[in-house]
Amino acid sequence: MPIATESEKVEPGHYSLSHQSWADEVHSKLTVDFTIELEYEAPPATIKPGQNFELNITGNCTKSTDDMGGWVARWGVYEAGGGIGVKMTDATMEKPYVGLGDNGFVGGAAAEYEFTVPPADQLSSEFTIEAKPTAIYKYKKGATPIVEQQKPWSLPTEPAEPEEEQGQ
């Protein structure tokens, strides 16, 4: 049996990390046990020039042991491109996180991000809103947004395998 197990899951709007470690191979004593969950609000399906809107990230960390195996903290952020402005306007702490970090253990945190969309003449024909690390929402003027899932922070990124050509 493994002495430690860890699972990390990333999907649009949700991030989770779960870790358990035992003192021995027979799992007689659990030494590290925690779960981190982050939830991201999805941006609107349609974004209009001059529109302002808010999105929230909420997170929690639960643990059943005092030891987390070192500093383990997670948080996300929203970023935008194509002329859209974004800033964190309300948060439970200056640099929010959940888990074990600079301010010790934090079991719950939340933050609000305000988006400002410029007038049509200043907005790019293609723009993005990124809910790091879960998804990138790609917009084109007058089209439905495309959602691309991102990869977890701690998992290595491997180069994609080349696609085989179909028979001619």
Is the CB of residue 116 less than 8 Å from the CB of residue 52?
yes
CA distances from 156 to 151, 153, 159 (A): 9, 8, 10
pLDDT reported for residue 133: 86
pLDDT reported for residue 156: 35
pLDDT mean over 72-97: 92
Q: In sequence order, which residues have a C-beta less than 8 Å from that of residue 35 and are 6 or more positions away?
A: 16, 17, 18, 19, 61, 62, 63
Of residues 56, 46, 47, 60, the one with CA closest to residue 13: 56
For the whole model, what pTM was predicted?
A: 0.80
